[in-house]
Structure 1
Amino acid sequence: MNVKHEKLDSKKVKLEVTLEAAKLDEAIRKSYKKNVKNLNVQGFRKGKAPLALVKQFYGVEVLFDDASDFLLSDSYPKAIEEADIKPIDYPKIDITQMEEGKDFVYTAEVEVYPEFDLPEYKGLEVEKPVIKVTDHDIDHEIEHLVERNGRIESKPEGAVVEKDDVAVINFNGKVDGVEFEGGKGENFELTIGANMFIGDFEDQLIGLKVGEEKTVKVTFPEDYQAEELKGKDAEFDVEILDIKTKEFPEVDDEFASEVSEFETLEELKASIREGLEEDANSRAKSELNNNLIKALAEKAEIDVPEVMVETSIDRLVRDFEQRIQQQGISKEMYLQMTGQEESAIREMFRDNAKNVVKNDLLIEAIVAKEGIEATEEEVMAKAEEIVKMYGEQQDELKEMLLTSNRRDLEMEVTTNKVFDLLLESAKVTEKEISVSHDHSHDDHNHEEEDHEGHDHE
């Protein structure tokens, strides 16, 4: 086998692979053995015709498809190894010569990991958040507990719909006097102010009583998902069946004992503080790592391959769909609520995906340059750290992690070592922020930053 390779650009390579004529002859015989049972030659039982007669009767070309498959699947992995390249996608194959008695020649264009100059990664200037837990943060968590333990009850007769109430409604929507798909519902529980419906639909129900009816007028947005509804005026006939509101418990020792394992409110608050401080330390470390890799990425020029970006978007979209499903919202429901096309979700994650890929490439480059490895003990420790978060079947989970997910464990260990290496020489300045500030930051950016630090963190 002879392999020539040509660099087309920083992320694409073209291989020209030549296999001896004898290899093609061998592949033709192999294809014959696979296909002869399906070939009829006069004077021979099905599957018994000799190779020479099959070629004479059908032409040798009838055996070329499988023969070329055999040659490509055998030679391509060896060719990329010989050329010392690292493909990131399937190759584009072009067979340039396939003729019995002659060499088999093909070219393969393939995207590879991009070449780039690794910038100086020691002495990075970064900011380290110091997250302080305050009494306000404790009270904020208590409020969440109160909210979760509230009881939903119907409001008394004569009460009206108010913001944050749950209005149980029947509705029937029409555009130009004609009902449309998805515009009708019965016994639908609508939280006023949740913005589940388009426009000011919910606001128009405020002030209504049980049994009252109203025609709600709204306009579908111009970028609404359903083509036939874009920019259309709609009328919904709405009937109020019930109005529900939440009754919240008093915050005292009795409340603490009902919602936790603690007997007093002070013990509950102490436990909440401890948990928030652990979470704050974890968040601070994660954000510091994000700041380290971001500082390095700003110094690097990398032509990121599109196929890697698309793969990263696939993962981010899957994560997003899982998160909204946990909130009881399907992808289809989300698209309807936001009036977006499915492609808009992918575009929402594109910049983030590029950052993920760029950061991954930088981390892998440092791992290679520094010769960083994950020892067996470190991989085992990482597996045990993960299984401790689960109460049951820890042995089975650990076995799965050490077999099917070993590569992920090794990557997490080596990535953490890279962050430790970057931190050793970094010039770090501290910035004190509160948990509540961190939560506010989290709402807007933290989801993105978690991904920018790779799956490793």
Structure 2
Amino acid sequence: MQVTETQNEGLKRAYNITVSADELDAKVTEKLVEAQPEIEMKGFRKGKVPLPLLKKQFGQRLLGEAMQETIDGAMAEHFESTGDRPALQPQVKMTNDDWKEGDDVKVEMAYEALPEIPEVDLSGISLEKLVAKADESSVDEALANLAETAQDFKARRKGSKAKDGDQVVIDFVGKVDGEPFEGGSAEDYPLVLGSNSFIPGFEEQLVGVKAEEEKSVEVSFPEDYQAEHLAGKAAVFECTIKEVKEPVAAEVDDELAKKFGAEDLEALKGQIRERLEAEYVQASRAITKRALLDKLDELVSFDLPPSLVEAEAKQIAHQLWHEENPEVEGHDHAEVEPTDEHNKLAERRVRLGLLLAELGQRQEINVSDAEMTQSIMNQARQYPGQERQFFEFVQQNQQMQQQLRAPIFEDKVVDYIIEQAEVSEKEVSKDELQKAVEALEEE
């Protein structure tokens, strides 16, 4: 086998690989010898078929396989001897298109090598960690929001008209073609106007009704209504309004706490305080992580594989285009050309991605099976009732596994770097922390 370098510019590499016909023949013979003990052929005992006969019978079939294995072996040997790591899958093509059995095989291999990543003195990195505590006003604000979600209703003054958001207590009988239909009647039904829990057009017609009033509501069932015998049919609901109630926030007391699974109000406040401070910790970490990445980006400089930058820039441009055009759900639109800003951001991402990957490899940082399982379970919760199918999908999809593993790995490497850095703490208010988070989102 002969390997000749044809390009070595920056990170670009290209080689011509020649596999001799003798090498291929030896590989085919090796495969036949390996399989010979299990081969049976008429006129011969098992394992006693002569090699020349096996080669005549199966040699042509094994030639392609031998060729692929020989070329793969040559590539593996090349990367081991040079220490090169390709940024993407190498491009490999056969150059003697008129090849026939008995000829040497000539292959061209081209790739972009990953750069050498310089050492970084992590102890010289200084970071500021923002620390916020959940004060009483924040807890009270969260309690008030909870009270709104647990709203009650109280009767409006007699003669008051129902408004959107009010609750009306009604008796109703639904009829199609003048005849009541099954499931179309109820008594003392509490309906919140604007909740869209009834057929489209039903609730709007009850806005303005009063207690003790009767109202005929005329609607049509949707064409795709689940009960086929009612789909698309016009219906009249004869309603008797028994009460009109306005929404009121629940009282902030022990009863409210029990609605949310706490023993009493103090216990609920404690839970809220813990939740808020956990949110503050996450926000603070995001700010610290961004500051760390900014410092790393300033500290290191090395050549970047153009193919990685180009692919990343295209992905950024495509993603931002969809954010600006949310009405377009598919990807059958014109190609989005990256701008200089996209390319600059892509360079930063590729540089930091390669640096973090190298640091993680040097420190032997890995994502455990338990961490992957937890991540998959967290994602699966987004598909209620289909958790098992999602879990199986991820198990069978290497690309999806990589998408879930990458952010876990990155966070573990970031945690390692922060442990080596000099970190000072600064106490801030919730509002100051919020402003710092908003500043991140604007960048």
**TM bracket (short chain):** 0.5 to 0.7
In the alignment, which residue of structure 2 is the partner of 1:182? none
Tell me the TM-score normalised to structure 2 length.
0.54
Contact 1:91 1:110 in 2 (8 A): yes
Contact 1:11 1:111 in 2 (8 A): yes
Deviation at 1:435, TM superposition (A): 2.8
Contact 2:287 2:436 in 1 (8 A): no
Q: Could you say if the C-alpha distance between residues 267 and 212 of structure 1 is closer, same or farther in structure 2, counting changes exceeding 3 Å?
A: same
Query: Is 1:358 aligned to 2:346, yes or no?
Result: no
* Larger radius of gyration between Structure 1 and Structure 2: 2
Q: Deviations over 1:322-351 (max 9, x none)?
A: xxxxxxxxxxxx98994245559x989968
In the alignment, which residue of structure 2 is the partner of 1:138? 139
Q: Percent identity, aligned pairs only?
A: 20
In the alignment, which residue of structure 1 is the partner of 2:277? 277
Q: Which ranges in structure 2 are unaligned for 5 or more consecutive residues?
A: 34-51, 167-191, 210-215, 219-236, 379-390, 396-400
Would you say how many aligned residue pairs link Structure 1 and Structure 2? 333
Deviation at 1:305, TM superposition (A): 4.8
Deviation at 1:270, TM superposition (A): 2.7
Q: Deviations over 1:15-62 (max 9, x none)?
A: 3323232222246679999xxxxxxxxxxxxxx99866999xxxx7x9
In the alignment, which residue of structure 2 is the partner of 1:166? 194
Query: Is 1:339 aligned to 2:338, yes or no?
Result: no
User: After superposition, where does 1:119-158 map in structure 2 within 5 Å?
Assistant: 121-150=122-151, 158=161
In the alignment, which residue of structure 2 is the partner of 1:96? 95
Deviation at 1:89, TM superposition (A): 2.2
Whole-angstrom CA distance in 2 between matches of 1:51 and 1:109: 34
Deviation at 1:255, TM superposition (A): 0.6
Q: Secondary structure at the match of 1:133?
A: coil
Whole-angstrom CA distance in 1 between matches of 2:275 and 2:309: 37
Q: Deviations over 1:255-311 (max 9, x none)?
A: 112213222x23321332233334434543443233112211134345365547757
Matched AA of 2:125: L
In the alignment, which residue of structure 2 is the partner of 1:372? 363
Query: Is 1:434 aligned to 2:422, yes or no?
Result: no
Q: Deviations over 1:58-88 (max 9, x none)?
A: xx7x987555434334433333223322123
Contact 1:382 1:413 in 2 (8 A): no
Whole-angstrom CA distance in 1 between matches of 2:3 and 2:54: 34
Q: Could you say if the C-alpha distance between residues 284 and 189 of structure 1 is closer, same or farther in structure 2, counting changes exceeding 3 Å?
A: farther
Q: Which ranges in structure 1 are unaligned for 5 or more consecutive residues?
A: 34-47, 171-185, 191-204, 214-240, 321-333, 390-396, 450-457
Contact 1:367 1:418 in 2 (8 A): no
Whole-angstrom CA distance in 2 between matches of 1:384 and 1:52: 51
Q: Could you say if the C-alpha distance between residues 139 and 25 of structure 1 is closer, same or farther in structure 2, counting changes exceeding 3 Å?
A: same
Matched AA of 1:274: E
Deviation at 1:312, TM superposition (A): 10
Matched AA of 2:105: F
In the alignment, which residue of structure 2 is the partner of 1:416? 415
Q: Deviations over 1:201-224 (max 9, x none)?
A: xxxx9xx868999xxxxxxxxxxx
Whole-angstrom CA distance in 2 between matches of 1:278 and 1:436: 16
Matched AA of 2:352: N
Q: Secondary structure at the match of 2:106?
A: strand
Q: Could you say if the C-alpha distance between residues 266 and 53 of structure 1 is closer, same or farther in structure 2, counting changes exceeding 3 Å?
A: closer
User: After superposition, where does 1:163-312 map in structure 2 within 5 Å?
Assistant: 166=194, 168=196, 187=200, 247-263=248-264, 265-302=265-302, 303=304, 305-307=306-308, 310=311
Displaced runs of 4 or more, over 6 A: 28-33, 151-157, 162-165, 210-213, 241-245, 311-315, 334-337, 346-353, 378-387, 404-411
Matched AA of 1:255: L
User: After superposition, where does 1:43-122 map in structure 2 within 5 Å?
Assistant: 66=65, 68-97=67-96, 98-115=99-116, 117=118, 121-122=122-123
Q: Deviations over 1:176-221 (max 9, x none)?
A: xxxxxxxxxx62899xxxxxxxxxxxxxx9xx868999xxxxxxxx
